[in-house]
């Protein structure tokens, strides 16, 4: 009947401990990289959320600028019309004669 040898050598113990150490290192490294990836993904998600908020603010600013541009364009058109009216008045055109003014047409009485 063959028996089991209970003698253990130092090399056998070191081999088993080395194998356990390598296995633990592989498991730790794998778990560490997955944890780092998870942390970096959550960080990226936070950055994307921040960028979305900034883009909303930028859209508001662009809308405000577009409204201001429209207002400025309208004011320039009104100013141009006022300039034309003043030039017409300087040349004597554009005076309105009404019955309330009597016989005066423009600046001077009719002669």
Q: Write out the two tokens for 56.
A: 């909303």
pLDDT tens digits, 56-99:
999 999 999 999 999 999 999 999 999 988 887 776 655 555 55
CA distance readout (Å), 80 to 30, 67, 75, 92: 73, 20, 9, 18
pTM of the predicted model as reported, rounded to 2 decimal places? 0.45
- Location of structure tokens 């290192």: 25
């Amino acid at each position: 009947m063959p028996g089991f040898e209970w003698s253990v050598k130092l090399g056998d113990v070191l081999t088993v401990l080395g194998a356990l150490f390598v296995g633990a290192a592989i498991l730790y490294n794998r778990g560490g990289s997955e944890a780092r990836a998870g942390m970096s993904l959550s960080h990226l998600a936070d950055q994307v959320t921040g960028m979305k908020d900034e883009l909303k603010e930028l859209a508001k600013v662009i809308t405000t600028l577009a409204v201001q541009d429209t207002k400025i364009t309208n004011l320039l058109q009104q100013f141009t019309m006022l300039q034309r009216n003043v030039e017409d008045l300087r040349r004597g055109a554009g005076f309105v004669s009404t019955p309330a003014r009597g016989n005066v047409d423009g600046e001077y009485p009719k002669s």
